[in-house]
Structure 1
């Protein structure tokens, strides 16, 4: 009987450890995903502005281009919230914070966020 109780306790401890490690892994994966997606999306957006592949003629168009580039990078099924701190399509400035909401295994909602600011050094004039 003593061996059965010890075995059951070890099984419970193992399950709790696995849940704990998976929770840490899930948050880490989402943080890496949002960091990489934000960096890549801002770089691609400002590259479109710098290369003048097609005209971006307002701050709203620049934000729209950023959102399109960002969602191309995201693979998870998560809710995303953007906070725009600064945008200027004429000077090539984009400063954005992204907050991602996701679900843990136990159903609780977790959040990760990332903030970046990038400026193009020299925009080519047409």
Structure 2
């Protein structure tokens, strides 16, 4: 009983689960396996639609890249004409790029700090 109460308290705190909690509290039956399968099929169809839509609009998103690069090149060539806001935005982008680089390094190393190395022989360890 305590587990059920804990689950219901959790459901009360999560907005996405409140509708399901009301169904449980009112005694309505949960969705049948067939209904769940139908919903899963609909979700898969919607995911496919989103993927196709993004693939079709990818070319439009890429078309603006040369103009944006030219704009960035002009701004870098004339740094005294930059506003404080533009410098701040550039700094934020630089920090984001550096952060993603660091995360990529951690993923590649499979370790947060340093690389894992095999144990060195005792003679090599005593050398340093």
The TM-score normalised by the length of structure 2 is 0.27
Between structure 1 and structure 2, the one with the greater Rg is 2
Between structures 1 and 2, the one with greater strand share: 1
The TM-score normalised by the length of structure 1 is 0.27
